[in-house]
Amino acid sequence: MANFPEVDVVPYGPKLLLASILSVFLYALYRYSLPKPIPGIPYNEESRRSLFGDIPKLRREAPHEVFAWMSRQARGTGSPVFQVWLGRLAKPTVVLSDFREGQDIMMRRNKEFDRSDLFAHIVGGEARSFHVTMKTGPEWKARRRLLQDLMTPAFLHDVAAPQIYKSCQLLLELWGRKAEIADGRAFDAEHDVFHAALDALDKINSLSAREVQQMRSASTERVDFPVAPDSPVIKSIIQAAENVAGVGATGVPRLAWLVIGWKPSIRSAREARRKFMDDQIFQAIDRYKAGGKDQTTKSIKSAIDLIVQREDMVAQKQGKHASNWLEIMRDESSGFVIAGHDPTSTNFCWGLKFLADDPAVQQKLVENLRAAFPVAVGEKRLTTDREITRARHAEPAIPIDEHLRSPSSQAAAKERGVRALADEDMNAFVPERWITPDEKGVEEFNSAAGPSSPFGLGLRGCFGPFELLQCPASLSSYESTEALARKPVQRYLRLKRREM
């Protein structure tokens, strides 16, 4: 019988010990990395057991409606204050869904609550020197002064209003032609509103009778019009807003900016925007120098003209311009355009949808506008920009809080009184909420009559002729998607010319 060769036997004890230690270490690391809730604040138990926090739940339930999802979380927890984890290995984010407390924080507690690092990381990828990314302080105040005059009546009436009026005239002409071609069918207004594609009028007017008939026969509900290509600059502005929204949705903004910053399309769009802004800034500087020291409102032709003027005034006081003055002016100008374009276009789209679906409110609005501008109605013409800017507007009232829980809010309520407001059915379209009578009983718009915070409040707040027919149900959903603002997914219009 043959003898088996001897085998070196390695004891399993050390290996088992090493494996046990490694397993314990990995488990301890896993437990350490799990989200850690703030005691006493409600949260989702499922999210606490995930390294990714609430991200999987959010992407599963509402990938395109972050704030709507948060509203549902508030109802689910039964608390106006709750916490979520919106990133990998992230600290908890405390969400406050109570308007009264939120208003109090923004208006009276700026020293306790400042601009978050997360917001700065999200927005800073497209405009790192834009003042909204900065903490409140002397530098932030200096940057904000560059833009503060852009919301004054003089600038709005003499500079902004005429330009907006011209654009609206072109938009009405474009929609008038589209309404004729659509012949009662709906058409997508998204490109016209968001992309400011007013050069599309030439493309629409050049359509042949055969092309018009083909578009009409394709569907009984809608007409798909050809879309004019955007200019590189317009495209870069639209893309910048989309980039900010996309990066914010990742939960890791700094890493996301690092990744997308290498894409050729992103780099070329940024270069186009940079060249355009630099060119506009230097043109504004030349106009400013040519105008001399006696600059008036009439010499201001754009927002950049005003920014250049303000920057020079600051430099004269300080004795020099900042070393990165061009980057500052470029980012402030770009940020102003990007931040203003998206919410304005979005509000326009929502307004069109609500008015189209509520003919009674639309008719009441038309009647009030005709009563406000009798001369234009008598002459059967559109109101001019001067008539609109000279119309009587209600001054915003000082917001008066209801009974609030924080000490500063309670002090404000005692000082100014307590306002009673029915907050049920706040999702319903009831514009009368913001209509209140003045001392003489005349109804006026009052922006503080109901809970509203369109662009923040307090120190950090922003400084600032068709009948709409109902669209078919298949083209008129109220589904939304989150970007810089909450946008409607479907933006169709059905128009009929209204008698002047």
Closest CA to 167 of 345, 352, 292: 345
**Of residues 214, 232, 231, 233, the one with CA closest to residue 223:** 214
DSSP string, 437-485: E-TTS-EEE-TTSS---BTB-GGGS----EEEEPPPGGG----EEESSS
Q: What is the band of 206 on the pLDDT scale with cuts at 50, 70, 90?
A: low
- When mean pLDDT is compared across 9-13, 38-42, 219-223, the lowest value belongs to 9-13
pLDDT of residue 404: 40
Q: At residue 151, does pLDDT exceed 70? A: yes
Q: Which of 89-103, 193-207, 462-476 has the lowest mean pLDDT?
A: 193-207
Please check the confidence at residue 497 and state whether its pLDDT lies above 70: no
| Per-residue pLDDT band at 401 (split at 50, 70, 90) | very low
Whether the per-residue pLDDT at 84 is higher than 50: the answer is yes
pLDDT interval class at 3 (50, 70, 90): low
pLDDT at 115 over 50: yes
Q: Which of 197, 199, 134, 196 is nearest to 331 (CA)?
A: 134
**Which backbone phi and psi does 198 adopt, to 5 degrees?**
-75, -15
Residue 292: pLDDT band with limits 50, 70, 90: low
Which position has the higher pLDDT, 257 or 418? 257
Strand ranges across the sheet with 222-223: 222-223, 186-188, 492-497, 466-469
pLDDT in tens, 323-337: 888 888 888 888 888
Mean pLDDT, to the nearest integer, of 158-171?
A: 83
Query: How confident is the prediction for the chain on average, in pLDDT?
Result: 77
Residue 373 pLDDT exceeds 70? yes
**Amino acid occupying residue 411:** A
Say if residue 188's pLDDT is above 50.
yes
Can you read off the two tokens belonging to residue 266? 């992103």
For residue 216, the model assigns a pLDDT of 65
**What is the structure's pLDDT at 395?**
39
Q: H-helix or E-strand containing 82? A: strand 81-84
Percentage of the chain modeled with pLDDT above 90: 2
Most confident among 2-6, 69-73, 460-464 (mean pLDDT):
69-73
How does strand 222-223 pair with strand 466-469? unpaired
Contacts of 349 (CB under 8 A, 6+ apart): 189, 190, 193, 194, 487, 488, 491
Burial of 353 (0-12, 13-18, 19+ CB in 10 A): buried
**Best CA proximity match to 436, nearest among 425, 447, 428:** 447
Which tokens belong to 259? 């990744």
pLDDT number for residue 489 = 75
Residue 343 has phi, psi (to 5 degrees) of -65, -35
Non-local CB neighbours of 341 within 8 Å, separated by 6+ positions:
237, 241
What is the domain partition of the chain in residue ranges? 18-97
Q: Of 60 and 4, which is predicted with more confidence?
A: 60
**pLDDT score of 465 more than 60:** no
Confidence of residue 467 (pLDDT cuts 50, 70, 90): low
Q: Residue 381: what are its φ and ψ, rounded to 5°?
A: -140, 170
Prediction pTM value: 0.71
pLDDT of residue 464: 47
Instruction: Dump pLDDT digits (tens) for 45-64.
Output: 888 888 888 888 888 887 77
pLDDT confidence band for 268 (50 / 70 / 90)? very high
What region does 480 belong to: left with phi over 0, alpha with psi -120 to 50, or beta?
beta
* Residue 275, pLDDT score: 92
